[in-house]
């Protein structure tokens, strides 16, 4: 496979346009074939792992533990994505052989096969196989159909076979309602609400109606979209401006970025980098409450070495320091928010509760690493190097987790920084040399 990949990378760039078009089509089919091969290998790995653990008398929960993370690490993605890949592979391998065949021949893309798996997820194995046979046993059935047409065809047959299953799924889906946020470009963020359709349509229609009324009244230079966004903030928080919302926002910024003229980025934990100049603008906000806490970083590597504590509770302060060091889940390729403070060397193995033996993990990765056959080893490092440890999967594959560096600090005297903030009114984490 590595040889094939190297050969593909050296593709002939002098082809005619007709040959290029044919090659693009063949590469698309090749991608589908690779997806089918990955699915087969994924399903086989999970089967063998469960069989081996069952033979040793482990419970069903213990047999399943860690497999999604193992798949995720192999595919260089998060535990969550690994679990999705595993479910997709098992559905194709056990219930949808014709869909798998269409992937092998390149008649379906990975996404379209995913749609078929998704729209039949609530059906029994027998009904799912009927949908699979009716749509994918003949390669001409779905030929020329787009994503929406394929999803609709699968859903129509599913309704025909088991309407009650679809109704149960719709009722259960209301339990998944939630509100999430994720970073957007230019120091913005998306707030997403997953709601039952009636509530979602009502919320959106109400915002549109009231924003239209403001526009119709005149005298407001905001766009309708901006008014809708401002109305949403006002109605959720009860306050007329976002700046008046009582909320703590931690910002990690180096003294060089804070006091110097060199362009640099600050870090908002859970969001990502933002321009340092924007932080300086925020600091002049008269509505903000500012509090300083020093983080001490190695001026060469950016490794976090210490933190000025505001609390006598050592575990709480240690966890705070670990969060600032790790920023997101430390499992390779997983950037989920940190939920748990973990001991890379477990307490059961003699690991101490120290900053060196700590790591920030998401909930799923923390539980997965405790599964049978997994181990974690702290890497040997000299003081000042970035914190790192190695995760070993049940297959013996090793993955190194290295903490990201903090912004490197300037060797500035502490009193200069204190003088710059005569009143400490912003909760600001900033970096000094250590």
Q: Could you give the number of structural domains in the chain?
A: 3
pLDDT of residue 257: 72
Is 256 domain-assigned? yes
371 phi and psi angles, rounded to 5 deg:
-70, 165
Residue 409 · residue 305 · CB < 8 Å: no
| Inter-CA distances, 16 with 21, 28, 97, 238, 297, Å | 9, 18, 37, 63, 56
Higher pLDDT, 50 or 293: 50
Domain boundary among 173, 193, 222: 173
Is 280 domain-assigned? yes
Predicted TM-score (pTM) of this structure: 0.73
| Inter-CA distances, 120 with 114, 129, 153, 197, 423, Å | 10, 9, 11, 21, 60
Share of the chain above pLDDT 90, in %: 50
Same domain, 279 and 225: no
Domain boundary among 173, 199, 229: 173
Higher pLDDT, 272 or 4: 4
Domain boundary among 217, 244, 271: 244
Same domain, 167 and 50: yes
Is 123 domain-assigned? yes
Same domain, 223 and 275: no
| Residue 119 to residue 91: CA distance in whole angstroms | 12
pLDDT of residue 287: 63
| Residue 269 to residue 274: CA distance in whole angstroms | 11
Assess whether pLDDT exceeds 90 at residue 279: no
Same domain, 263 and 146: no
Is 75 domain-assigned? yes
Assess whether pLDDT exceeds 60 at residue 412: no
Q: What is the pLDDT of residues 206-249, one digit of tens each?
A: 999 999 999 988 889 999 999 999 999 888 887 765 455 555 66
Same domain, 97 and 28: yes
Residues 41-68: what's their mean pLDDT? 96
| Inter-CA distances, 57 with 14, 61, 375, Å | 60, 12, 20
Residues 363-383: what's their mean pLDDT? 90
Residues 385-390: what's their mean pLDDT? 92
Phi-psi domain of 217 (left: phi exceeds 0; alpha: psi -120 through 50; beta: other)? alpha
Identify the band that residue 141 occupies on the pLDDT scale cut at 50, 70 and 90: very high
Cβ of 51: how many Cβ atoms within 10 Å? 10
Higher pLDDT, 56 or 300: 56
| Residue 14 to residue 290: CA distance in whole angstroms | 62
Residue with tokens 């021949």: 105
pLDDT of residue 417: 53
pLDDT of residue 313: 35
Same domain, 123 and 229: no
Same domain, 22 and 146: yes
Same domain, 48 and 137: yes
pLDDT of residue 171: 76
Is 100 domain-assigned? yes
Same domain, 43 and 164: yes
Same domain, 268 and 132: no
Most confident of 19-23, 168-172, 173-177, 289-293: 19-23
Same domain, 415 and 276: yes
Domain extent, residue 298, equals 252-302+408-433
Is 417 domain-assigned? yes
pLDDT of residue 37: 97
Is 363 domain-assigned? no
Residues 88-112: what's their mean pLDDT? 96
72-81, 134-143, 279-288: least confidently modelled range:
279-288
401 phi and psi angles, rounded to 5 deg:
-110, 120
pLDDT of residue 164: 86
Helical segments of 369-425, H only? 414-420
Assess whether pLDDT exceeds 50 at residue 81: yes
The H-or-E segment that residue 151 falls in is: helix 147-161
Q: What is the pLDDT of residues 182-211, one digit of tens each?
A: 888 887 889 999 988 778 888 988 999 999
Helix and strand numbers, DSSP H then E, in the chain: 17, 13
Structure-token pair, residue 275? 């321009």
Same domain, 137 and 261: no
**Average pLDDT taken over every residue of the chain:** 84
Is 311 domain-assigned? no
Assess whether pLDDT exceeds 70 at residue 138: yes
Question: CA 383, 73, 99 angle in degrees (round to 5)?
Answer: 170
Residues 13-34: what's their mean pLDDT? 95
Assess whether pLDDT exceeds 60 at residue 69: yes
């Amino acid at each position: 496979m590595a040889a094939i990949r190297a050969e593909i990378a050296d593709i002939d760039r002098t082809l005619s346009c007709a040959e290029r078009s044919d090659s693009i089509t063949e590469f698309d089919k090749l991608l589908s074939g690779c997806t089918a091969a990955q699915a087969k290998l994924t399903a086989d790995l999970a089967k063998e792992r469960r069989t081996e653990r069952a033979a040793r008398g482990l419970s069903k929960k213990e047999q399943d533990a860690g497999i999604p993370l193992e798949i995720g690490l192999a595919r260089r993605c998060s535990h969550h994505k690994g679990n999705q890949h595993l479910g997709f592979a098992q559905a194709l391998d056990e219930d949808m052989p014709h869909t798998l065949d269409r992937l092998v021949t390149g008649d379906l893309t990975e996404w379209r096969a995913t749609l078929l798996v998704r729209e039949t997820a609530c059906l029994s194995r027998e009904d799912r196989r009927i949908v699979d046979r009716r749509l994918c046993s003949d390669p001409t059935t779905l030929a020329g159909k787009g994503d929406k047409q394929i999803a609709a065809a699968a859903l129509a047959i599913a309704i025909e076979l088991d309407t009650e299953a679809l109704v149960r799924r719709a009722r259960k889906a209301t339990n998944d309602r939630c509100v999430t946020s994720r970073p957007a470009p230019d120091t913005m963020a998306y707030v997403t609400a997953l709601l039952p359709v009636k509530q979602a349509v009502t919320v959106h229609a109400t915002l549109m109606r009231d924003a239209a009324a403001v526009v119709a009244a005149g005298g407001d230079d905001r766009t309708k979209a901006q008014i809708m966004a401002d109305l949403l903030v006002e109605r959720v928080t009860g306050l007329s401006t976002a700046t008046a919302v009582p909320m703590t926002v931690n910002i990690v910024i180096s003294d060089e970025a804070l006091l110097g003229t060199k362009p640099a980025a600050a870090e908002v934990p859970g969001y990502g980098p933002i321009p340092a100049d924007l932080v300086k603008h925020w600091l002049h906000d008269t509505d903000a409450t500012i509090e300083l806490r020093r983080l001490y970083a190695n001026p060469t590597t950016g490794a976090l070495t210490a933190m000025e504590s505001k609390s006598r509770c050592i575990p709480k302060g240690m966890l705070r320091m670990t969060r600032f060091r790790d920023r997101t889940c430390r499992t390779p390729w997983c950037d989920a928010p940190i939920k748990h403070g973990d001991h890379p060397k477990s307490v059961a193995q003699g690991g101490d509760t120290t900053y060196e033996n700590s790591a920030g993990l998401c909930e799923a990765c923390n539980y997965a690493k405790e599964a049978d056959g997994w181990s974690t080893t702290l890497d040997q490092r000299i003081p000042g190097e970035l914190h790192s440890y190695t995760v070993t999967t049940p297959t013996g594959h090793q993955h190194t987790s290295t903490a990201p560096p903090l912004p490197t600090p300037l060797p500035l005297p502490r009193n200069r920084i204190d003088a710059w903030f005569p009143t400490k009114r912003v909760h600001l984490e900033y970096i000094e040399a250590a």
